[in-house]
Structures are given as structure tokens and as C-alpha cells.
Amino acid sequence: MEDLSTRIANLTPEKRALLEKRLKEKSEKKEPLAPEPLAVIGMSCRFPGGANGTAAFWHLLKNGVDAIREVPEERWPVAAHFDPTPATPEKMNTRWGGFIDGVDQFDANFFGISPREAAQMDPQQRLLLEVAWEALEQSGQTLPELRGSATGVFVGIHSHSSEYAMMQLADPAAVGTYTSTGTAHSVVANRISYWFDLRGPSIALDTACSSSLVATHLACQSLRQHECRLALAGGVNLMLAPEFTIALSQMNMMAADGRCKTFDASADGFVRGEGCGVVVLKRLADALADGDPILALIRGSAVNQDGSTNGITAPNALSQQEVIRAALQNAGVAPEEIGYVETHGTGTILGDPIEIEALTAVIGQPRPQQLPCVLGSVKANLGHLEGAAGIAGLIKTVLCLHHGEIPPQLHFNQLNPHITLANTPFVIHRKGCPWPAAERKLAGVSSFGFGGTNAHLVLEAWRAEQEEEKENATPDSEASYLLPLSARSPEALRVLVESYRRFLPEADCALADLAYTAGVRRTHHEHRVAVAGRSLREMAQKLAAYAAGEESPGVMAATRKPADRQPPLAFVFSGQGPNWFGVGRQLLAQEPVFRAKMEACDTVLRQLAGWSLLEELQREESHSRLEDAEIAQPAFCAMQISLAALWQSWGIVPDAVIGHSVGEIAAAHVAGALTLAEALTVVYHRGRLLQRETGRGKMASVELSPEEMQKMLAGYEDRLAIASINSPNAVVISGDAAALDEMARLLAQREISCRQLTVKFASHSPQMEPYRFELTKLLQGLKPQSATIAIGNDADDFNRDGRAHRRRLSRCRLLGPQRARHGALRRRHCPPAAG
């Protein structure tokens, strides 16, 4: 055999170049990494047995509830369609089903849908809209944040669930304007996107029984390809007419006793069920960054097809093996790590054995430490939800991972003789069990369509260090919290209040977390009530008082007015008053928006003044310089600017701003007339000049009218002046320290209230006259722009004129009285903010 080097040397130059290229490509090719996990951040459902919501669903599962019942009379007259003999023409051989209540009910007003359109909408559309809202609310996504976002909607729906369309189309008189959009399956997903104004992919799909798990797989792919930042995945299925049940009876698929007896020797078919489920998904990194609740992780997923088999509805064990293996590979998970599989498990005599055969080939091999793998199927509880079957299994598995527990498997008494569990890790628990002990909690979820489309997902439990730290944190028992509740109507608000009143005394959560979620992670509607309290029990008592119509301290109720009827809102920026040690520290520690703005101010002041604002605020009291004007004035201005930014981040945006003394500079920045650097330059020089007068002047508040005070200042004009007119009967005087002490004694003799302010300088007094020219020269380059928000002035008016702001700010209000603009605040109409 030729030496390899000789063979390479004998290659033509073209072949050698081709070989080098292919070897280089191979060396650079890396094994694909497991994709980023996706977080399940919210979910909701409506399932049989009163399982309205995930808490009720978990209660049903944990208690082994059989949610199957006879067909309700309002659906169809079962006696007219029933015959116990399978395949009897025009008859069904079952009287049973998994039904949900209230499919005829819909809060059309909440979604702004007219009664006429709602009546022509398929109840599946209505149900999905409500459950999608609930899932998004549980995930903490608010309506303002969702509108216009890159959020995808992926919905599985079985084409056989078109009974509402058939009912309308059967009677031409019932066909109306909204029949087409109300019954089209595509609109099941599109209506959610339309109502929430979501701009990501919006897809309704049908792969029969695997529809909703395939929809979830597509949602995962869309997130990983960054087509969307958030995704809703789900499915819906309702049984409004008997025809499809009759069709399945003709195929001998229906269990005579109306029960899915998964894995059991008595398995003889399935029972149909209905319901709706939605999960909210986000890339894990984004969920962590956004502070979203994380219920579980989706590690990987896969979808494939059976291809040609001995019948289109016949399952293919090899295809099932391949889809499970592909999902595990996609997840980067070893088969022996799986501790639970939520099987397709319909309860058919041959379908169950074929599924177990596929699982055994992939997951059922010998394991280290003989760790078990539990098998289960939610169809034994709910029936086969067809288009919503996969999402029901997914939500069940997330709940199992979250609670660390696997519920009992109903209707399992004796193993199907065609199933062999010997020498496998598989176990089936009739009474439920804790999650198998393992380093990681991992699970698989399968869903197989009767046309051959198979789907499998790999999930993992979520347990983060930061969540453990939060759970171990000791809450501040002295702190008061605000719990805001709201609804679209007074009736809905009463129901919500009563729900919270019952929930709060036994709630297993911190009051701080509850208040945060209600305040920040909920959409706020028109009808509102807010309760302040220090404990969950106190909150419950105050809600009970509100519900009973009794007055209670710390309870406020209001109705939000429409945008065109909102009264104008003004921000008032005050002048410098007495500081206190530690001012601003709590906001710096707790409010990121406030801190970010203060850090921006700090950057400007370091360059301008050579000292750090943040360092000055953090100093020990014995070393604090906050009483010095050159520090206090910029600090006070920066804190007001940062507070305004915080209010605006909460959606509280002013129509106008009004400033008093140094507050006038902060107001000018917030209104857009000054940049941050310009505003801090003004206030820095102002404080620096005031510092020169520190110790020579004083200020005092006097309860006199401006006219009366001016008379008393006769003879003191060169030493004292009115610095501020706060009301018709209250002024602040300012000036030389000795002269002010004399004036205070005169006022005391006349029994006129005079209270000296704890400041060391005399702003707005004759003492500032020597600095007028210097300050004007320092600020010559100041070029205020026209404001985007109206600014109030001494004439009790508002304007945005940049030239007017330039004149006022160039004087910087060191001289002349400041006037509280009561007239401006009383005005009923502020000019609207631009933009």
C-alpha cells in the first residue's frame, strides 16, 4: 500500500488544492452547541374538571381527578346519537367526554369587541384570547410593553374542530359580516396578534393531535432565530357538535367506557376532550435580564413524520425513536438523564406498546445508579384534547418540574400485556411520587398526530441561585407597601378585590414581591383601588373594608379618565431648602432609573467641578459637605432632575413644569430648554458664587403679605429684601445676618411668626448684587432651546420660547423675589407637550 505522503504528492495540483480546501473546511467546522434554553415565563389553561388556571389544574392532577362526564345536554342530545355497538352507521359508541364549562361566555367588552361580532366568533377564538391574556398577565408582561413588540403567536388547532363554522354556514340567514373572520382557523392566532398589536410571526397550524406541541416547537425555533423576542404557543379544541365523534366511532377509536386507560391491559381506545392552553416563552438570557418569572426551561425540540406506513393513522416506532433522539440531541441532553416522560399515551391496545417500544430504544437503556424514569399521560384525566393535547401535556410537565412531584396515573391497574418494562428504567405510579432523585430534573413530552407528524420536547426544572437568595431574604416588617388592583369594569374590580381578599391571608409569598408584581408587572385598567399596608393580613382586612363600603385609612379608589379628559399635569421644582443627612441614598440603592440619571450628572460634575456628586452623597455625616452651597446647589438640582426622570419612567409625564429658584434650572432641563451639561453648568457657578457669601447672610420665613413685609423693610432696603413670595400671606426674606436678626426681633415684638431657615447664605438678596455681572459673563455662551414642555413663569403663564428662558436663566435668579406661580397652577389648560 502506498505511503499517504506519496499518494498526496502524486495528486494533480487541482486535486491537491481541492483536498487542502476540504481538510481546512473540516478542521474549521465545529460541532454545533446545544441551543440557548428557552424560559417558560407564564402559562394558563382551561381544562375539563374546572381546571381554570394552572393552580386548579395542578390540584386536579395531584388529587387524581377524573374530569370525564356525560355529554352535556346543551352540546347535543346524546341519546339520539348513541349506540353501544362500535361502527354503527350515524351513531357514536360513547356518551362521554372531557368538557369545559362556559364556552358560550365571553367578556367582549374587555376586549373591545361588539356583541354582534362576538356572536359570530368561533368560541375557540374567544377562549384563546382570554387564556392568552391570562398567560401574559402571569408572565408579568403589560399591554403597553407588548404593543408593537416583536412577539410571535403559534397556535395548534384541529381542522375537525370547525363545528361553529358549519353551524353558521348551514343557515344562510346566520351568515354575517364577521362570519369569515370569526370562523377562519388562521384568525385564531391572528386575532391575538391583532388585539395585542404583536408584530412577530402569527401562525395557526394543524397536524391533528400533535398540533399544539408542533406550534411550541416552531415558537422555539422562531425565538432562537431571533424572529421574535417573546412567543406565545398553545392550542385549543372544543366539541360543539356530534359529527366528529361519530366519525371516530366509525374508525373504532372510541373507548366504550369513555376513559383513556393508558398503559393498562383494558385499554380499548380514547375519549375526546376539550380545552385550551397557552405558554409564554422567552430566551433565557432575556428573561433573566427582564426579571421575568421562570417556571421551567425548554432545552430542545424536534418534529418529524412517519412517512409511508401500513396505514396513514398507524404509528411508526422508528419515526418516534428518531424524533425523541433528535430532540435530545438538540437539547444536549443524554437519554439516561430523563426522569419523566409525558407520553402521547392515548390508551389504545397497540398505540401504547409502540410508543413504549420507541422510548425503550432511546431512553430505556440501562442507567448508572439505576435512576428511574417515570411515565405518565394526562389523557387519563382530561381525555384526548386533540389539537390542544400537546399543550396540556407540556403544562402538566412544567407543573411537575416546578413542584418536584409526579401525580398519580389514573386508570392504571394492570400493565398492557404487549408492554414490557422489565430491564428498563420505566415505572408507572398509580399513587404519584416525588421527582426521581437526580442532579438535574429533566423531562420529555411527546405528541403524535394521527396523520403521522410527531413532536417531542425536552424540559428542565429551573432553580436559580438568585431565587434561593430571594427566598432566604428577610423582609422588612416595618416597611409599607402599595397593592394596586384594577379592572375594566366596577363589577370586575369587585370580583378581583374579593379574589385577593381570600388569597392574601394564606398567600405563600412576600408582600414586597406581591406589591411589585401588582404595581409593575400588571396592566392597569380604568377602575382602580390601591391599598397600603405592612402585612398580607392587613391588606386583606383593608380590602374587606373597601368591599363592604367602609372607609379605611390607606385605601384609595378612583376611575381613570379618558386621555382626552385628563387634567393637565405640572411638575413643580422647588428651591433649596434644608438638607438632611443621607438624602437620596435610598433612591440610589433602589431605583435604577434614578441612579442612572444621577451617574450622568456625576460624570458632568466631575469634569466641571473636579468632585464627585455620588461620593459626596455617600460620605459619613461628620465629613459631609452637603450644607455648602457649592455642593448643595448642584446636588439638589441633580436630584430633582433624576426624580423627574424616575416619574417619567413610570409613565407620569408633565404637560408643564414650574421651577422656584434653583428648581427653575432643573425645570428648564426637564422641559428640554437646557441640556444636562448646560443646566449643571448654571447651577455649579450659582452655587460657587453663593459659597462666597456663606456665613454672612440669613433667610427667614415670615407670615405677612408682600405689601406689609415691604413696609417693614423700609430702611433696610440695602441689606434685606423679599426673596420669595410663597402665598398671599407668606414670604421669605433674605439678606445681611445682623439685619435679619434685628428684623426677627421686630416681628416677634408684633407677634408675627418668623422662622429662620437653616441655610448659611442669603439668596435673592442685595448681597448677590456684586456677582450679577460675573455670573452673566460666565453664562454668556448659554443657548437655551425652545422647550418641548411648557415652562411656567412669573406672569402666571406658560411658554416654550427659548429666548425667554435665556433672559431668565442668564440672570440665574440670584436677585429679585421668586414668586410661587399659583395662577399658573390654577390654569385649567396647559399647552400640550410637543411630540
Condensed to tens digits (0 to 9), the pLDDT of residues 363-400 reads 988 887 778 999 999 999 999 999 999 999 999 999 99
pLDDT at 36: 86
Shortest CA distance to 126 belongs to which of 147, 100, 104? 104
pLDDT at 438 over 80: yes
Q: Confidence class of residue 183 from pLDDT cuts 50, 70 and 90?
A: confident
660 is catalytic: no
pLDDT tens by residue, 582-594: 678 888 988 899 9
Q: Which CATH superfamily is domain 570-694+761-826 in?
A: Malonyl-Coenzyme A Acyl Carrier Protein, domain 2 (3.40.366.10)
Whether the CB-CB separation of 391 and 445 falls below 8 Å is answered with no
**Degrees, nearest 5: CA angle 751-754-759:** 165
Concerning whether 384 is annotated as a catalytic residue, the answer is: yes
344 a catalytic residue = yes
pLDDT reported for residue 791: 86
Whole-angstrom Cα Rg for the chain? 36
- In whole angstroms, give the CA distance from residue 290 to residue 371: 36
CATH class of 696-759: alpha beta
Residue 211 · residue 235 · CB < 8 Å: yes
Is the per-residue pLDDT at 827 higher than 50?
Answer: no
Nearest alpha carbon to residue 430 among 414, 416, 445, 441 = 414
| Cell triple for 798 | 406658560
- Nearest CA among 493, 564, 566 for reference residue 530: 493
Mean pLDDT of 140-153: 95
Instruction: Return mean pLDDT, the chain.
Output: 87
Q: What is the mean pLDDT of residues 352-358?
A: 96
Local confidence band at 345 (pLDDT 50, 70, 90 cut-offs): very high
User: How confident is the model at residue 508, as a pLDDT?
Assistant: 82
Q: What value does the mean pLDDT take over residues 814-819?
A: 52
- Which pLDDT belongs to residue 484? 94
Q: Cα dihedral angle (156, 158, 159, 164), rounded to 10 degrees?
A: -100
pLDDT confidence tier of residue 478, bands split at 50, 70 and 90 = low
Architecture per CATH, domain 478-560, reads as 2-Layer Sandwich (3.30)
Q: Please pick, among 81, 158, 185, 384, the residue that the annotation labels catalytic.
A: 384
Q: In this structure, what are the phi and psi dihedrals at residue 193, rounded to the nearest 5 degrees?
A: -60, -40
Q: Which of 752, 765, 753, 744 is nearest to 690 (CA)?
A: 765
pLDDT in tens, 227-279: 999 999 999 999 999 999 999 999 999 999 999 999 999 999 999 999 999 99
Q: How far apart are the first and last CA of the chain?
A: 81
Span 533-573, pLDDT tens digits: 999 999 999 999 999 999 889 899 989 877 667 788 899 99
Give burial (CB, 10 Å; 0-12/13-18/19+) of 163: buried
Domain 38-461 fold? Peroxisomal Thiolase; Chain A, domain 1 (3.40.47)
810: pLDDT confidence band, cut at 50, 70 and 90?
very low
What pLDDT sits at residue 473?
45
- Is the pLDDT reported for residue 826 higher than 50? no
Mean pLDDT of 293-318: 92
Provide the 8-state DSSP code for 810: H
Least confident of 46-55, 135-144, 459-468: 459-468
661 is catalytic: yes
Residue of 193, 222, 661, 734 marked catalytic: 661
The percent of residues above 70 in pLDDT, for the chain, comes to: 87
Residue 751 reports pLDDT greater than 50: yes
Q: Which is higher by pLDDT, 512 or 792? A: 512
438 vs 670, more confident: 670
Q: Is the pLDDT of residue 31 over 70?
A: no
Could you tell me which of 279, 223, 203, 293 has the C-alpha nearest to residue 38?
A: 223
Catalytic-labelled residue, pool 81, 185, 193, 209: 209
- Cβ(560)–Cβ(526) under 8 Å? yes
Say whether 604 sits in a helix, a strand or coil: helix
- Mean pLDDT over 637-651 rounds to 93
Look at residue 88 and give its three-state secondary structure. coil
Q: In whole angstroms, give the CA distance from residue 804 to residue 650.
A: 30
pTM: 0.75
C-alpha cell at 211: 398540533
Please check whether residue 195 is in contact with residue 117, taking contact to mean a CB–CB distance below 8 angstroms.
no
The tens digit of pLDDT for each residue in 80-124 reads 999 999 899 999 999 999 999 999 999 999 999 999 999 999 999
Choosing from 158, 185, 344, 764, the catalytic residue is: 344
